[in-house]
Structure 1
Amino acid sequence: MYGAEHLQAFGGLPAVDFQPKDDPADRPAADDVAWRISVEPYGDDDRDRPWADEFADFLGSVDPAGVKALIIGQWGEAYEENSSLPIDLVIAAADRLTSLEAVFVGDLEAEQAEITWIEHADVTTLLAAFPALTEFGVRGGSGLVFPPTKHDRLRSLTIQAGGLPVQVVRGVLDSELPALERLDLWLGVSAYEGDTEVADLAPLLSGTRFPRLHHLGLRNSEVQNEIAAALASAPVVARLRTLDLSNGTLGDEGAAALLEGQPLTHLDVLDLHHHFLTEAMEQRVRSALEPHGVRVDLSERNEPWGGRGIEGRYTAVSE
């Protein structure tokens, strides 16, 4: 699960693991960090306990009214029990978590569960329970449900998946999120339920959704070239400051389409890291954009498995 490691920061705060046995005097203030609540169901130490117990200890040890950012880590055997378990417990504590502004669900690394093994449910119940949320993130696409929802304050939405079902994408794009500024979708591969096609992105690319959007990530896709070609003439691009097409199968075809389409010189950042561009195309991209002040990330050039050819290209994160 390359590229999907534990969050080091979230909600503008450093991420810290809650440790029930820590000396209270050594704990940071409730609003100084993003608290990760996680258990170790495969261990033989005191962290092998129900997530409900860990969360109850957290609420009793840290002032819940001061908590601004919460990270839901491993809640058990995540490939057998879905995320409704921790989500329901967090919602039940909504009257105590009165300052909560950021929630991330599923902060697991490969050693805990491959990204496609993380089982989810309807995660929008958290948005309904916390109308003051400004940032929301999810890792994992299996069983994920995201019906069209309305939230007036959400500014950042991230869904990381090895395969993102099209129904989730449609639910996001049909949602009313008037404050949304950052959208980051890891679309993944068809072998792991990533069945979104470029046509499904039409409401987003048209620029008619999310009027405040300035950061768009359509990442980790096996159809990265097709996405790049669609963005070349997509109205949404004109109001972006950051465009992220990283972690996918982008090659010279997609990069050329971008350069031959509408101007990109207004961007602050074009992120293409983990790509399959030739050195000549890398130089062409840099020459076209960097003189205009665009920061271009072309790190992690890859060669297709089995030699040249699009068939051997791979996304950074799949299973």
Structure 2
Amino acid sequence: MTYLGIEHLERFHGLPVHTPEPSSGALPAADSVAWRLVCDYGEDAGFASLWEQFLETVDTTRVRALVIGAWWHDEYTPIDPVVELIVTHADRFPALRALFLADVVGEECEVSWLKMCDITPVLEALPALEEFGVRGCGREGLALRPLRHAALKSLRFESGGLPGELVRAVAASELPALERLELWFGSTWYGGDATIEDVRPVLAGGLFPRLRHLGLQNSEFQDEIAAAVGSAPVVAQLESLALSMGTLSDMGGEALLNGQPLSHLSLLDLRHHYLTDPVVDRIRTACAPAVVEAGEAEDDYADPDDEDDEPERYVAVSE
């Protein structure tokens, strides 16, 4: 069984992630690391104090990458004030090219509990941003409005429940520089109400002319995605494709085999799947010389004491 899920970022935008601490002594050069800001659990000082200290001690005009970790010090609080601080002080970060919101793991807070908000103002306030990622669920407020952003090259939503409205907003946005798009759809139980229809504008091609990597992942409708990918025009322009973390079964595998060739890809990521070994072997052969990452199949769950219990399949990240 493979494991794919939520982990702290160790590198971001090609830089090592550094978490400054009061007793850490000399700080690294402002442009040499991705700065991770996190409130220590139980401390009385909130994120606003941490933010002010960061502005005072680091030359933010040279900061290239910023990672926001846990922003609360006691009970889980909405991320809205953090977003407001970033937007208010956007002019203090002229060199900022990468931002990740909610780099939080399960030991700190489950992804479905993170209290999110509309993150559109961040993108609007940072027109030079090239890489943006966010972790959270639609059930707790994660939202995006359609926008135009001329510089954004990488957009990543890690979610246990991605709302269809957000996916439609991505498809309705003008992102002429976009090279990488990753969407974790998650579970309907946690607000993931997106459907295959919401991503068809992306699959049709032409929407993001520079797109080279597409991740349609962590989905309960992974077989439908595989079937759509089989004839999707966008595939011809891709260098890598991720259909991992979801409930992909032999039905979806057969759809890939019966669809357009994928041998031009450098990588096809199918990890966390429910494919049988013979189908995986056929996919590997059909896609050669592309690398197919699959690993071992996940186990269908069924109650061994209940003869009528149907096997259940799960996405890698939900709660």
The TM-score, its normalising length taken from structure 1, stands at 0.93
Write out aligned runs for 1:102-251 (5 A): 102-141=98-137, 142-251=140-249
2:51 is aligned with 1:55 = yes
| Alignment check: 8 A CA contact 1:79 1:117 kept | no
Q: Which residue of 1 aligns with 2:22?
A: 20
Q: Which residue of 2 aligns with 1:99?
A: 95
Match of 2:253 among 252, 255, 266: 255
Change in CA separation of 1:78 and 1:224 when aligned onto 2, cut-off 3 Å: farther
2:6 is aligned with 1:10 = no
CA deviation after TM superposition for structure 1 residue 98, in Å: 1.4
Change in CA separation of 1:271 and 1:17 when aligned onto 2, cut-off 3 Å: same
Q: Which residue of 1 aligns with 2:315?
A: 315
Q: Which residue of 2 aligns with 1:38?
A: 38
- Residue 187 of structure 1 aligns to a residue in which SS? strand
Identity %: 47
| Alignment check: 8 A CA contact 1:34 1:71 kept | yes
The TM-score, its normalising length taken from structure 2, stands at 0.93
| Alignment check: 8 A CA contact 2:45 2:73 kept | no
CA deviation after TM superposition for structure 1 residue 294, in Å: 0.4
- Residue 284 of structure 1 aligns to a residue in which SS? helix
Deviations 1:86-112 (A, max 9, x none): 111122221211110000000000011
Deviations 1:124-176 (A, max 9, x none): 11111111100000000220110001100000000000000101111111011
Distance 1:85 1:176 in 2: 27
- Residue 157 of structure 2 aligns to a residue in which SS? strand
| Alignment check: 8 A CA contact 1:69 1:103 kept | yes
Distance 2:303 2:287 in 1: 29
Structure 2 unaligned blocks of 5 or more: none
User: What is the aligned residue count?
Assistant: 311
CA deviation after TM superposition for structure 1 residue 289, in Å: 1.7
Q: Which residue of 1 aligns with 2:68?
A: 72
| Alignment check: 8 A CA contact 2:4 2:272 kept | no
Distance 1:211 1:306 in 2: 44
Distance 1:77 1:177 in 2: 36
